[in-house]
Amino acid sequence: MGRPRKALLDRGRIGRTALELVDETGDFTVPEIARRLGVQTASVYHHVEGRAGVIELLRERVVDDLDPAALGVRPWDAALEAWAHSYRSAFAAHPRAVSMLMTSPVRAPRVIEQYERVAGLLLEAGFAPETVMPVITGLDNIVLGSALDMSAPEVMWVVGEESQAPRLALAQAATGPARADRAFELTLAGFLAHCRGLLGA
């Protein structure tokens, strides 16, 4: 609606349209992207390598919202902390894309470049090579689990009658809407402290 039917097609527009569809419906198909852009399905395939290629364009759109300064912070743990916050905000805007992006291999050069910087940061800090991927993956899981949780309802556990789950009701009332943010801060703090301990050991 309101889009020119013969708009110039480029990879940026394909990625943005795929992301819009995922935000709205939880998924995309290449014919749906073509329809929304007013072009033939074959034209989309001319610009991108299949469905997996579209997922990478979509991934680049989300990752473009990360703060590029975060990974320049020092020391390494402050960089990871800043990156985790920025990364969580970027993905919280697109919770329906999280699952798709977590289960498809990362090929997008701009995203590979971010992880290369994180791997370099950890190696320079003194982490053993075999510990670098577990640290990166652990941080990814915390961030993306929390990004999904940010789109959860404010009251996540609906206790029908308080007598049925009195301690859960008490705990929910005590935290209120701060639940998601406090969970993230607590988990990230524990994670970074543990990583500092791994370096010291």
- Interacting residues with a second copy between 117 and 176 (CB under 8 A): 119-120, 122-123, 128-138, 140-146, 148-149, 151-153, 155-160, 164-168, 170-175
Output 17 or 146, the one with its CB closest to a second copy. Answer: 146
Q: Which of 27, 49, 64, 65 binds a second copy (CB under 8 A)?
A: 27
Is residue 15 helix, strand or coil? Answer: helix
- Cβ atoms of residues 95 and 146 within 8 Å: no
Query: In the set 51, 109, 110, 126, which binds a second copy (CB under 8 A)?
Result: 109
Instruction: Indicate the residue among 9 and 33 with the shorter CB distance to a second copy.
Output: 33
Q: Give which of 60, 47, 42 is closest to 9, Cα–Cα.
A: 47
Distance CA 66, CA 88 (A): 9
What does the block give as tokens for 143?
């961030």
Minimum Å gap between C-beta 116 and a second copy is 4
Query: Smallest gap, in angstroms, from Cβ of residue 40 to a second copy?
Result: 26
| 182 is a site residue for a second copy (CB under 8 A) | yes
Can you tell me which residue has the tokens 């701060």? Answer: 178
* Whole-number Cα distances in Å, 117 to 10, 122, 159: 28, 9, 45
Total residues contacting a second copy by CB under 8 A comes to: 78
CB of 32 to a second copy, least distance (A): 15
Per CB under 8 A, which of residues 69..98 are in contact with a second copy?
95-96, 98
Q: How far is the CB of 179 from a second copy (least distance, A)?
A: 5
Residues 6+ away with beta carbon under 8 Å from 121: 71, 76, 79, 80
The SS3 assignment for 42 reads: helix
